Amino acid sequence: MRVLLVEDDELFGSGLKAGLGQRGFAVDWVRDGVAAERELLTRQYEAAVLDLGLPRQDGMAVLRAARAADVATPILVLTARDAVQARITALDCGADDYLVKPVDLGELAARLRALTRRAHGVSVARLTLSAISLDPATRQVWRGEQLVELSPREFELLRVFMLNADRVLTRERLEQHLYNWGSEVSSNALEVHVHNLRKKLGAELIETVRGVGYVARK
């Protein structure tokens, strides 16, 4: 899951990026409100974690600008502002969730997964597609009753396919989900991951749409 992290505190931000990365998130980190607005308006993320007390532009202004531009990315506000009015204002301006610092990384990860599920119209935690089941919390995958071991990238690719079953996904969109800034992506990396998923979960699971991308069929 590719996530935008907006946090100006170096120590706290580096801890969040590392902790979320260990939980399977691909994290892009910016440190001010102007950069945050630019990223939200020009790039595609599955979710964003937004501080309010930011340099150059306050997080509330970022939130308003994103929603005014019809950016649908789920945004979780993570801030030291614990006043009830601050929560009300943020939620009314379009925030999807609100947490007060300090935060437990496990809870933050769970809330991000929940926001992503809701954004895709999925109400249950475990995803299913044909005989395949996936649990985002435990990062486990089953084919029928058999537990299947996947690499972190294979797991994330499968999760994206399952959340978008019957939707054709372009190569560019899939790579955006898998890789954050600075990642070196070989020209055939995506094809290798798709090949591995077919080998482990069944050749019929993912269909190639020539000249466009891939689709997982229900």
134-148 pLDDT, tens digit per residue, is: 999 899 999 999 999
pLDDT per position as a tens digit, 57-89 = 999 999 999 999 999 999 999 999 999 999 999
Domain spanning 2-119, CATH class: alpha beta
Mean pLDDT on 12-32: 94
The pTM is what? 0.83
Report d(CA 12, CA 8) in Å as an integer: 8
Q: Which tokens hold the place of 126?
A: 């475990």
13 pLDDT higher than 90: yes
**What is the signed CA dihedral for 95, 100, 103, 107, rounded to 10 degrees?**
-50
Q: For the chain, give the percent of residues with pLDDT over 90.
A: 78
Q: How confident is the model at residue 24 (pLDDT cuts 50, 70, 90)?
A: confident
- 127-216 — its CATH code? 1.10.10.10
Question: Mean pLDDT, to the nearest integer, of 130-136?
Answer: 93
Mean pLDDT of the residues in the chain? 92
**Is the model's pLDDT at 122 over the cut of 90?**
no
d(CA 19, CA 78): 15
Tell me the domain boundaries of the chain. Answer: 2-119, 127-216
pLDDT over threshold 70, residue 1: yes
Mean pLDDT of 25-50: 95
Please measure the distance between the N-terminal and C-terminal CA atoms of the chain and give it in whole angstroms. Answer: 21
What is the Cα–Cα distance from 218 to 208, expressed in whole angstroms?
14
pLDDT at position 214? 95
